[in-house]
């Protein structure tokens, strides 16, 4: 794979899959906070 | 009065939104387009996730959460009494898709059975699929033709998947939809991880990844790539279908809208990327050349899924097992999307005062009657896919109009931001809603001007070409009929679906 393809893959996967994991982690944190209240 | 049904917690509604969004399109349309147009398509697809899909999903989620009705009732309450007929159109459009989507689910099930039989053939000393293809290269094409046209097993299976889906939902939101999604969605992600892992380990599999992620700057000047990226985002996320509005009608009163929407939207796109990373390396690894792989990808959704992929898998060790995993994933994805479509219908019937249990038999009958032609004829299926697929852009526009009428800033502040765990900018939301009103109109015009029919309006004899599979005349006639019926019944629809207290 060319360098540009690898960079593009990393950017795309990080944005989408990373975003998914990031938003999920916020939701998990919020639920924990609500459970503790 | 009994307590209204609702999801037991945040995860229930997130799983439901993932199940709604992740469907056959993630496995058969996204990989095809990502392979054809590469990273350029994916970047634009991400852009339109933010411009088209997320604002629409935010709007739908908020409307469902606020009014807790089916689509007709909720739409009438947000847009106003005189616009109830537009909510009726959204409902009928999504049902038009649901009726043939149950057939897609049955195809996936039938091919899962086909894959299992092929895997078992060597055990019973029967010829393998590869041997059958050597003896008859058209074997898979003939099988697909057999399945898609006048096949009683297809009809029996689509009735079966409908009955199973309705039965699951008849158990209620918590015990039905929520419970089913707890099994369906994790299983689907696990299967996608398995296929991706196997495909990426194939020799030359990386070529598929290279095609998928390479950015060809000249593609940015190709309007088709932009349109395909927008259409894929619109169709794949379920934005504008009324499905999110239906699901969120069961949300808790203080449910967050924004964070849950982002999780659903990004989860859907994650599943698409995984499907692309599974299918494309396999197609490129198993094709004789990159040109042949591209030709396969251009064959169309159904051909790629039901003739190309089984053929490619037939020639590799362990391919029969991979085929089973792929079609099981396709079935789970299709079935998890079918459930909210059935629920959309059920919820509207429940708004009429019919109990969930009593709605079940009516839903089954409607699906059997209106899905039958699509199960029997591929031409009818294609026509419905054409008419109601483009109709989804129109339904998206209707939802945008409702938001605009309510007041975009007011809508954002009162309905989206209430109970939000995080907020998006009001300017972003406002700009997207206004831009999408223009984009949506252009998108409908673009699809209708593509010339898929040689006679888009009138046939060679000068007659209205309504019976042509891909004609614009067919679109305008079917849309027009539904809009006319809705318009004529507007008062009745409002009284029955939205103004229930006064009855």
pLDDT (tens digit per residue) in B487-500: 999 999 999 999 87
Residue B262: its chain A contacts at CB < 8 A? 19, 23
Residue B338 is encoded by which pair of tokens? 């079918």
Residue B256: its chain A contacts at CB < 8 A? 30
Chain A closest-CA separation from residue B45 CA (Å):
11
Q: What ipTM goes with this model?
A: 0.97
Residue B34 is encoded by which pair of tokens? 């990502």
State the virtual CA torsion across B278, B280, B281, B285 in degrees, nearest 10: 130
Contact (CB<8Å) B214/A27: no
Residue B454: Cβ within 10 Å count: 11
Contact (CB<8Å) A27/B14: yes
Question: What residues of B are in the A interface, CB distance below 8 Å?
Answer: 9-10, 14, 39, 42-43, 46, 206, 209-210, 212-215, 256, 259-260, 262-263, 266-267, 269-270, 273, 421-422
Q: What is the DSSP string of chain A?
A: --HHHHHHHHHHHHHHHHHHHHHHHHHHHHHHHHHH-
Q: How far apart, in whole angstroms, are the C-alpha atoms of residue B243 and residue B63?
A: 11
Contact (CB<8Å) A12/B263: no
Instruction: Give the CA distances from residue B314 to residues A16, B286, B307, B429, B447, in Å, rounded to whole numbers and listed in that order.
Output: 32, 10, 11, 48, 36
Asked whether B63 and B247 are in contact (CB, 8 A), the reply is no
What's the number of CA atoms in the CB half-sphere (13 Å) around residue B13? 31
Helix (H/G/I), strand (E/B), else coil: B126 = coil
pLDDT for B502 equals: 47
For B292, the enclosing helix (H) or strand (E) is helix B290-297
Asked whether B353 and B68 are in contact (CB, 8 A), the reply is no
Contact (CB<8Å) B266/A23: yes
Closest CA to B415 of B15, B83, B63: B63
Residue B17: its chain A contacts at CB < 8 A? none
Residue B209: its chain A contacts at CB < 8 A? 1, 5, 9
pLDDT exceeds cutoff 90 at B20: yes
Q: Which residue in A has a C-alpha nearest to residue B271's C-alpha?
A: A17
Q: How far apart, in whole angstroms, are the C-alpha atoms of residue B138 and residue B232?
A: 31
Chain A closest-CA separation from residue B208 CA (Å):
10
> Dihedrals φ, ψ of B318, to 5°?
80, 5
Contact (CB<8Å) B10/A27: yes
Using CB atoms, which residue from B259, B260, B269 is nearest to A16?
Answer: B269
Say how many residues make up chain B. 503
Mutate to test the interface with B, among A2, A3, A9, A30 (most CBs of B within 10 A): A9
Chain B closest-CA separation from residue A14 CA (Å):
10
Mean pLDDT of B120-135: 94
Chain B closest-CA separation from residue A16 CA (Å):
6
The 10s digit of each residue's pLDDT in B384-438 is 999 999 999 999 999 999 999 999 999 999 999 999 999 999 999 999 999 999 9
Residue B219 CB partners (closer than 8 Å, separation 6+): B37, B38, B40, B41, B225
Asked whether B336 and B108 are in contact (CB, 8 A), the reply is no
The 10s digit of each residue's pLDDT in B184-227 is 999 999 999 999 998 888 888 888 899 899 999 999 999 889 98
Chain A closest-CA separation from residue B9 CA (Å):
9
> Dihedrals φ, ψ of B7, to 5°?
-65, 150
Using CB atoms, which residue from B9, B39, B273 is nearest to A8?
Answer: B39
Lowest mean pLDDT among A31-35, B251-255, B287-291, B454-458: B287-291
Asked whether B113 and B331 are in contact (CB, 8 A), the reply is no
pLDDT exceeds cutoff 90 at B288: no
Contact (CB<8Å) A30/B421: yes
Residue B169 is encoded by which pair of tokens? 């939902």
Helix (H/G/I), strand (E/B), else coil: B146 = helix
Distance of CA B456 to the CA centre of its chain: 25
Q: How far apart, in whole angstroms, are the C-alpha atoms of residue B402 and residue B258?
A: 19
Instruction: Give the CA distances from residue B76 to residues B73, B96, B135, B359, in Å, rounded to whole numbers and listed in that order.
Output: 5, 20, 60, 22
Q: Residues of chain B with pLDDT > 90: what percent?
A: 85
pLDDT for B481 equals: 98
Question: What residues of A are in the B interface, CB distance below 8 Å?
Answer: 1-2, 4-6, 8-9, 12-13, 15-17, 19-20, 23-24, 26-27, 30-31
Confidence grade of residue B285 (pLDDT, cut at 50, 70, 90): confident
Asked whether B249 and B6 are in contact (CB, 8 A), the reply is no
pLDDT exceeds cutoff 90 at B1: no
Beta partners for residue B458, in sequence order? B464
Chain B closest-CA separation from residue A36 CA (Å):
15
Residue B260: its chain A contacts at CB < 8 A? 27
Q: How far apart, in whole angstroms, are the C-alpha atoms of residue B458 and residue B462?
A: 5
User: Which residue reads 């490619």 in tokens?
Assistant: B312
Neighbour-count burial of B288, counting CB atoms closer than 10 A to its CB (0-12 exposed, 13-18 middle, 19+ buried): exposed
Q: How far apart, in whole angstroms, are the C-alpha atoms of residue B296 and residue B32?
A: 9
State the virtual CA torsion across B348, B60, B276, B374 in degrees, nearest 10: 30
Asked whether B242 and B90 are in contact (CB, 8 A), the reply is yes
Using CB atoms, which residue from A8, A20, A26 is nearest to B213?
Answer: A8
Mean pLDDT of chain B: 94
Residue B432 is encoded by which pair of tokens? 């997207």
Q: What is the pTM of this model?
A: 0.95
Helix (H/G/I), strand (E/B), else coil: B7 = coil
Contact (CB<8Å) A31/B9: yes
Beta partners for residue B464, in sequence order? B458
Instruction: Give the CA distances from residue B363 to residues B94, B181, B349, B352, in Å, rounded to whole numbers and listed in that order.
Output: 14, 20, 9, 14
Closest CA to B212 of B432, B37, B64: B37
Helix (H/G/I), strand (E/B), else coil: B237 = helix
Closest CA to B191 of B38, B321, B47: B321
Using CB atoms, which residue from A4, A9, A20 is nearest to B266?
Answer: A20
pLDDT for B2 equals: 67
Q: How far apart, in whole angstroms, are the C-alpha atoms of residue B313 and residue B331?
A: 18
């Amino acid at each position: 794979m060319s360098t540009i393809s690898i960079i593009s893959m990393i950017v795309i996967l990080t944005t989408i899959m990373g975003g998914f994991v990031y938003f999920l982690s916020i939701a998990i944190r919020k639920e924990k906070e609500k459970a503790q209240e | 009065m009994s307590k209204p049904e609702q999801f037991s917690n945040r995860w229930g509604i997130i799983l439901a939104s993932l199940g709604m969004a992740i469907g056959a399109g993630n496995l058969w349309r996204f990989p095809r387009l990502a392979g054809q147009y590469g990273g350029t398509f994916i970047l634009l697809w991400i852009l339109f996730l933010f411009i088209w899909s997320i604002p629409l999903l935010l709007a739908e989620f908020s409307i469902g959460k606020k009014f807790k009705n089916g689509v007709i009732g909720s739409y009438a309450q947000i847009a106003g009494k005189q616009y109830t007929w537009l909510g009726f159109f959204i409902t009928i459009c999504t049902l038009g898709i649901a009726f043939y989507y149950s057939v897609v689910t049955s195809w996936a099930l039938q091919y899962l059975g086909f894959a299992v039989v092929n895997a078992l053939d060597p055990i019973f000393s029967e010829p393998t699929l590869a041997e059958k293809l050597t003896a008859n290269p058209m074997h898979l094409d003939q099988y697909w033709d057999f399945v898609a046209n006048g096949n009683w097993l297809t009809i029996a299976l689509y009735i079966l998947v409908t009955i199973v889906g309705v039965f699951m939902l008849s158990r209620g939101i918590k015990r039905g939809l929520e419970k089913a999604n707890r099994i369906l969605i994790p299983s689907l992600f696990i299967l996608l991880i398995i296929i991706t892992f196997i495909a990426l380990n194939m020799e030359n599999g990386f070529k598929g990844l290279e095609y998928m992620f390479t950015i060809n700057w000249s593609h940015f000047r190709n309007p088709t790539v932009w349109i395909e990226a927008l259409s894929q985002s619109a169709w794949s996320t379920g934005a504008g279908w009324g499905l999110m509005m239906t699901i969120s009608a069961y949300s808790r009163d203080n449910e967050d809208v924004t964070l849950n929407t982002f999780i659903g939207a990004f989860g859907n796109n994650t599943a698409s990327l995984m499907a692309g990373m599974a299918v494309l390396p396999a197609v490129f690894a198993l094709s004789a050349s990159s040109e042949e792989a591209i030709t396969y990808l251009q064959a169309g959704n159904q051909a790629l899924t039901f003739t190309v992929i089984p053929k490619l898998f037939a020639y590799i060790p362990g391919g029969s097992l991979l085929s089973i995993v792929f079609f099981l994933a396709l079935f789970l994805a299709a079935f998890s999307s079918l459930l909210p479509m059935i629920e959309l219908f059920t919820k509207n019937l429940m708004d009429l005062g019919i109990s969930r249990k009593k709605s079940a038999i009516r839903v089954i009958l409607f699906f059997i009657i209106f899905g039958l032609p699509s199960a029997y004829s591929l031409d009818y299926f294609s026509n419905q896919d054409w008419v109601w697929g483009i109709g989804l852009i129109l339904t998206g526009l209707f939802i945008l109009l409702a938001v605009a009428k309510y007041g975009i800033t007011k809508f954002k502040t009162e309905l989206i931001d209430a109970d939000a765990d995080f907020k998006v900018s009001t300017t972003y939301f406002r700009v997207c809603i206004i831009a999408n009103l223009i984009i949506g109109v252009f998108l409908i015009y673009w699809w209708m001007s593509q010339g898929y029919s040689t006679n888009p309006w009138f046939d060679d004899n000068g007659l209205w070409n309504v019976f042509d599979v891909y004609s614009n005349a067919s679109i305008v006639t079917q849309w027009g009929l539904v809009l006319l019926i809705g318009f004529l019944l507007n008062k009745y629809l409002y009284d029955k679906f939205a103004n229930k207290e006064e009855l």
